[in-house]
C-alpha cells in the first residue's frame, strides 16, 4: 500500500529534479544566446567573454582574469550569476571609460554582502554615484587634501618613528625574529585613528589594535568582488547561510566599535572639552546641516579604517616580504640614504625629492603587490557603446590591475621586481594618475576616475615615511627555515602576505640615539 503511494511521488520528485537540473543547465549556458540578443540600437553586442555563468571565482581570481584577457582582449565580459561584468585590462580603455566617461562609469553595484549587509549603502565606498556620494566624498576630502595633511604631518612622522622604535625594541635589535603585521598595522591604524578621531593607541598591547585589525580582515574576507555566490544568486540571500550571518555580525560590530568611539567624542564636545580637529568632530558639528544619520556617522568613520589600514599596512608588509630576497635593492637604497641624509637623522617627508631610488622602490612594490588587484568595482549608470561594444546600464566594471601591472608593452620584464624602471619618474602617484598619456601612468593601485582613492595623498606620505625610515634603520634578514611566500596571500578584496617573520638588525649603533626622545604618548583618550 505504502509503496504504491510512494512510487508516483518518487517519480514526480525525480521529474521535478530533472526539470530543475535542465533549467539550471540552460540558464548556466544562456550567455551563448544572450551575447547575440543583448545589443544597442545599432546592433552592437556586449564585449566577448566566456559562454557560461559563474557563481564565484576562486581565490587568486586575478589569474583567471589574466587568462581571459589574453583570450578575449582588453575589454571582456563575464556573467557572475545574474550580474554582467566587464573587465578592463588596458590603460587606454581604463582612461576612455573610467576617466573620460566618468559620468557614466562611477557608480557602485549594490553588492548584497558589502554594500547592503555590511555598509548598508552608507560609506563613501558603497554609495551609488549621486548627491549623497558627492556630499560624503567632500566631507572626507576635508582631511585628505595635501594642504590638510600638512596640519597633521608631524603625527604621521611620529608614528613612523614609533614603529621603528618598537620594531627595534621588540626584535631585541635583530636578535628576535618578528612578524611585522602587528607593527605595520598599528602604524596605519594610529594614522587613521588620528585623522578620524584625533586619538592614537598608546601602547602596543592595546586591544583596540587587534579588534580593529580583525574587523578590517573580516571585511577583506567577506567583500571580494567575485567570491560570494550570495552576491550573484539572489535566492541565496533568503537562506540563513554562515556568510550572511558573518556579514550581519560585521555590520553590528562596526556600529558597536565605531559608534561607541563617536559617542565618546560627542560627550566630550557636549561637555565643552578639547577635541582635536578630526573627521568625527566635523561630522558631529555638521550633522544637521549635512543631514547625516547615525549609520552615516558610523560608516563614514569606519570606512577610513577599513580603507586606510589594511591597504597601507599591506604595502609595508609586502615591502618587508620582498626586501630580504633583494639585498642589492636594499644596499642601493641605503647607499643613497647615507649619501643624501647621512647617519645622524631619519629621513623625513622633505627628503622625498632628493631620494629617487627610494621613491622608485615604493612605486615598484605598489606595482607588483597592489593590495587590490581589482581596485573597487565601478558600475555603469547608463547604456554606453564603446568602440562598437555595448555596455548596458548596471554592468559592473572591473579594473584588472593585475594584468595591467604585468603588461610587457608598458613594463619591460614585468614579472621582475626592478625599482630601476621608475628611476626617472619624478611624479607622485596622485600626479601620475592625471597624466594625459595613460601609458606613462606609474601604476593603477589607487584606482581611476572620479572614485579614485581619496586617501592617495596621505597613503603616499605614510608609505614614504615608513619605508624610507625602515631602509635607513635596518638590515633585513629572512629566516633560513621560514621561506617568505611572495605568491600566496590573505584576504579576498584586499591582500596582505601570509604571516611571515624576519629579523631586523639595526644598521648603526646610532639608531638608538636618533630615536631617543620618541616616547609613546596618548594625545587624549576616549
Ligand atoms: C596604499 C594605500 C591605499 C590604497 C592602495 C588604496 C586603494 C584604493 C582603491 C583601489 C580604491 C577604489 C578606487 C576606485 O573605485 O577606482 C580606494 C577607494 C577609497 N579609499 Fe583608498 N587606498 C589606500 C589608502 C587609503 C586611505 C589612507 C584612506 C583614508 C584616509 C582611503 C580611503 C578610501 C575611500 C574612502 C575610498 C572610496 C572612494 C569612493 O568610492 O569614492 N584609502 N582606495
Integer Cα distance of 232 and 78 in angstroms: 12
Q: Which secondary-structure segment (H or E) carries 52?
A: none
Write phi, then psi, for 445 (nearest 5 degrees). Answer: -60, -30
Q: What is the pLDDT of residue 107?
A: 97
- Cα dihedral sign, 313-295-300-264: negative
pLDDT value at residue 307: 87
Q: What is the pTM of this model?
A: 0.94
Residue 447 Cα, ligand 1 centroid: separation in angstroms? 8
- For residues 467 and 196, what is the distance between their CA atoms, to the nearest angstrom? 23
**Is residue 212 a contact partner of residue 302, using CB atoms and an 8 Å limit?**
no
Question: Which residues in 183-204 are b (16+ Cβ under 10 Å) and which e?
Answer: bbbbbbbbbbbbbbbbbbbeee
Query: Which helix (H) or strand (E) segment is 162 a member of?
Result: helix 153-170
List all residues 6 or more positions away from 60 whose beta carbon is below 8 Å from its beta carbon.
Answer: none
State the cell numbers at 469: 625610515
Report the alpha-carbon distance of residue 338 to residue 468 in Å, rounded: 12
User: DSSP label at 318?
Assistant: H
Q: Phi and psi dihedrals of 291, rounded to 5?
A: 50, 55
* Substitution site in 133, 151, 156, 307 for ligand 1 pocket (most atoms within 8 Å of beta carbon): 307
DSSP-assigned letter for residue 479: B
Nearest CA to ligand 1 atom 18: 453
Would you tell me the crossing angle of helices 310-322 and 294-308 to the nearest 10 degrees?
10
Compute how many other C-beta atoms are within 10 angstroms of the C-beta atom of residue 214: 12
Which secondary structure element, helix H or strand E, spans residue 22, and what is its range? Answer: helix 2-29
Give CA angle at 87 (82, 88), nearest 5°: 160
Nearest Cα to Cα of residue 87 among 97, 98, 76: 76
The CA 27 to ligand 1 mean position distance, Å, reads: 36
Handedness of CA 386, 388, 393, 397 (dihedral sign): negative
Using a 6 Å CB cutoff, which residues line ligand 1? 124-125, 137, 140, 144, 303-304, 307-308, 311-312, 315, 371-372, 375-376, 378, 445-449, 451-455, 458-459
Strand partners, 506: 474
ipTM for the whole predicted complex goes beyond 0.95: yes
Distance in Å, CA 452 to ligand 1 centroid: 7
Mean pLDDT by 10 residues, the chain (526 residues): 67 85 84 94 97 90 96 97 96 98 96 93 88 91 92 94 94 96 93 90 76 85 88 90 93 92 91 91 92 91 88 97 98 98 95 98 98 95 98 98 97 98 97 96 98 97 98 97 94 90 95 79 56
Alpha-carbon distance of 180 to 131, in angstroms, equals: 41
Output the pLDDT for position 521.
66
Give the residue, by CA position, lying nearest to ligand 1 atom 37.
Answer: 125
What digits encode the pLDDT tens for the residues 288-309? Answer: 999 999 999 999 999 888 889 9
- Phi and psi at residue 108, in whole multiples of 5°? -130, 145
Amino acid at each position: 500500500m505504502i509503496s504504491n503511494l510512494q512510487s508516483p511521488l518518487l517519480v514526480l520528485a525525480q521529474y521535478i529534479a530533472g526539470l530543475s537540473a535542465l533549467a539550471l543547465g540552460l540558464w548556466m549556458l544562456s550567455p551563448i544566446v544572450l551575447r547575440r540578443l543583448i545589443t544597442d540600437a545599432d546592433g552592437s553586442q556586449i564585449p566577448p567573454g566566456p559562454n557560461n555563468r559563474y557563481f564565484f571565482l576562486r581565490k587568486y581570481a586575478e589569474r583567471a582574469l589574466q587568462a581571459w584577457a589574453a583570450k578575449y582582449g582588453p575589454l571582456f565580459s563575464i556573467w557572475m550569476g545574474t550580474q554582467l561584468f566587464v573587465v578592463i585590462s588596458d590603460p587606454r580603455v581604463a582612461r576612455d571609460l573610467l576617466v573620460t566617461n566618468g559620468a557614466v562609469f562611477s557608480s557602485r553595484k549594490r553588492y548584497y554582502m558589502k554594500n547592503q549587509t555590511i555598509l548598508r549603502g552608507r560609506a563613501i565606498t558603497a554609495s551609488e554615484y549621486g548627491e549623497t556620494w558627492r556630499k560624503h566624498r567632500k566631507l572626507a576630502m576635508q582631511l585628505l587634501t595635501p594642504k590638510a595633511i600638512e596640519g597633521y604631518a608631524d603625527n604621521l612622522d611620529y608614528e613612523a618613528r614609533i614603529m621603528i622604535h618598537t620594531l627595534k625594541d621588540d626584535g631585541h635589535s635583530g636578535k628576535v625574529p618578528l612578524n611585522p603585521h602587528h607593527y605595520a598595522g598599528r602604524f596605519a591604524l594610529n594614522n587613521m585613528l588620528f585623522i578620524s578621531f584625533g586619538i592614537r593607541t598608546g601602547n602596543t598591547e592595546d586591544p583596540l589594535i587587534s579588534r580593529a585589525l580583525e574587523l578590517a580582515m573580516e571585511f577583506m574576507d567577506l567583500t571580494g568582488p567575485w567570491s560570494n555566490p550570495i552576491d550573484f544568486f539572489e535566492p541565496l540571500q533568503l537562506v540563513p547561510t554562515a556568510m550572511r550571518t558573518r556579514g550581519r555580525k560585521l555590520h553590528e560590530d562596526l556600529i558597536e566599535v565605531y559608534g561607541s568611539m563617536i559617542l565618546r567624542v560627542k560627550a566630550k564636545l557636549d561637555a565643552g572639552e578639547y577635541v582635536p580637529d578630526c573627521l568625527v568632530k566635523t561630522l558631529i558639528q555638521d550633522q544637521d546641516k549635512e543631514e547625516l544619520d547615525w549609520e552615516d556617522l558610523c560608516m563614514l568613520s569606519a570606512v577610513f579604517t577599513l580603507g586606510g589600514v589594511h591597504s597601507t599596512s599591506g604595502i609595508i608588509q609586502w615591502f618587508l616580504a620582498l626586501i630580504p630576497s633583494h639585498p642589492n635593492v636594499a644596499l642601493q637604497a641605503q647607499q643613497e640614504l647615507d649619501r643624501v641624509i647621512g647617519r645622524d637623522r631619519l629621513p623625513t617627508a622633505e627628503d622625498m625629492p632628493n631620494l629617487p631610488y627610494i621613491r622608485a622602490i615604493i612605486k615598484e612594490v605598489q606595482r607588483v603587490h597592489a593590495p587590490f588587484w581589482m581596485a573597487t568595482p565601478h558600475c555603469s549608470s547608463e547604456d554606453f557603446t564603446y568602440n562598437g561594444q555595448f555596455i548596458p546600464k548596471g554592468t559592473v566594471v572591473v579594473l584588472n590591475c593585475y594584468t595591467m601591472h604585468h603588461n610587457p608593452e608598458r613594463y619591460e620584464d614585468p614579472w621582475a621586481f626592478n625599482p630601476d624602471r621608475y628611476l626617472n619618474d619624478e611624479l607622485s602617484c596622485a600626479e601620475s594618475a592625471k597624466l594625459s598619456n595613460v601609458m606613462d601612468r606609474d601604476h593603477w593601485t589607487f584606482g581611476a576616475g572620479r572614485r579614485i582613492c581619496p586617501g592617495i595623498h596621505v597613503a603616499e606620505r605614510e608609505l614614504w615615511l615608513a619605508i624610507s625610515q625602515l631602509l635607513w634603520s635596518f638590515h633585513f634578514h629572512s629566516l633560513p627555515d621560514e621561506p617568505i611566500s611572495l605568491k600566496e596571500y590573505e584576504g579576498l578584496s584586499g591582500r596582505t602576505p601570509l604571516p611571515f617573520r624576519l629579523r631586523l638588525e639595526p644598521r648603526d649603533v646610532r639608531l638608538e640615539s636618533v630615536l631617543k626622545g620618541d616616547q609613546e604618548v596618548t594625545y587624549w583618550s576616549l
